[in-house]
Amino acid sequence: MIKCIIVEDEKLAQQVIQNHLQKIPGFEIVAICNNATEASWALKKNDVDLIFLDIQLPGITGLNFLRSLPNPPLVILTTAYAEYALESYEFSVIDYLLKPISFERFHKAINKITDGRLFSQLAVEKENILADHIFIKSSNKFFKVNFSEIVFIEAMKDYLKIHTNDYRLVTLQTMSEMERILPQKQFLRVHKSFIVAVSHIRTVYGNSIEMEKETIPIGISYKNAVMNFISGK
């Protein structure tokens, strides 16, 4: 469940976001805040994954509030003024929604979170020790993939191919995003194009790793990290 707070001083705008979000499964609103002060308290009290943040707030503006956060969660900005779009680019926000917000435009912003590209920011990352699976979007479906099933992951330009012993999945995601999702003790980046599951490694020799059915190259810049990992350093 993706936990959200709405930071918005207009009641109508609050209701619009609430109504839109209720139509999309997997999201929970844990707080509705009228200003940055209330939002600060909400962030302290709740484990928040996503903020819907109005730029024009009373007192501290939405952008100044965002600047004050050392480790902000995902953010979708909302505003009635298009001129703030350029300033918002200095932040790593998911999207910039202009009011009035249609459901179609809202859903497009949400898809940027749920299409698999941003799961590294959500519960899998925060509960890495307990998590034993991930959901991967492929061919417009979400597939539950147990970490224990993954043998290795291969980069293909803007896509990744998830290799298991029984099937393959192709998903729109980057290697760096996948690295943040996967448990560090169970997976190892060995090449700019490959992440391997430690439990499926058979042998390491020279600049290669022999898996159960495949041989994976070790990149020059990853060689020391691989050797330190297998030697327990």
pLDDT tens, 42-78?
Answer: 999 998 889 999 999 999 999 999 989 887 888 999 9
Assess contact for 5 and 72: CB atoms under 8 A.
no
Place of tokens 């995902």: 74
From CA 7, how far away is CA 51, in angstroms rounded? 7
Is residue 85 pLDDT above 90, yes or no?
no
Question: Residue ranges of the domains in the chain?
Answer: 2-114, 134-230
Q: Residue 88: what pLDDT? A: 60
Provide the percentage of residues in the chain whose pLDDT is more than 90.
49
What DSSP state is assigned to residue 47?
-
Least confident piece of the model among 13-22, 48-57, 127-136, 152-161: 127-136
Provide the strand spans (E) within 94-175: 95-98, 133-138, 141-146, 150-156, 159-164, 168-172
Amino acid at residue number 174: T
pLDDT band for 180, please (50, 70, 90 cuts): confident
Helix (H, G, I), strand (E, B) or coil at 55: coil
Which numeric CATH code is attached to 2-114? Answer: 3.40.50.2300
Task: Give the angle 3-118-137 at the CA atoms, nearest 5°.
Answer: 105
Provide the percentage of residues in the chain whose pLDDT is more than 70.
87
Least confident piece of the model among 59-73, 85-99, 152-166, 183-197: 85-99
Model confidence, pTM: 0.53
Please tell me which residue, 120 or 1, carries the higher pLDDT value. 1
Q: How far is CA 205 from the centre of its chain?
A: 34
Task: Tell me the average pLDDT across 24-45.
Answer: 93
The encoded tokens of residue 163 equal 């290799």
Tens digit of each residue's pLDDT (9 = 90 or more) over 189-223:
999 999 999 999 999 998 999 998 899 999 999 99
Name which CATH class applies to 134-230.
mainly beta
Q: Residue 84: what pLDDT? A: 62
Highest mean predicted confidence (pLDDT) among 10-19, 42-51, 111-120, 160-169: 10-19
From CA 174, how far away is CA 185, in angstroms rounded? 20
Q: Residue 131: what pLDDT? A: 61
Task: Give the angle 117-118-123 at the CA atoms, nearest 5°.
Answer: 135
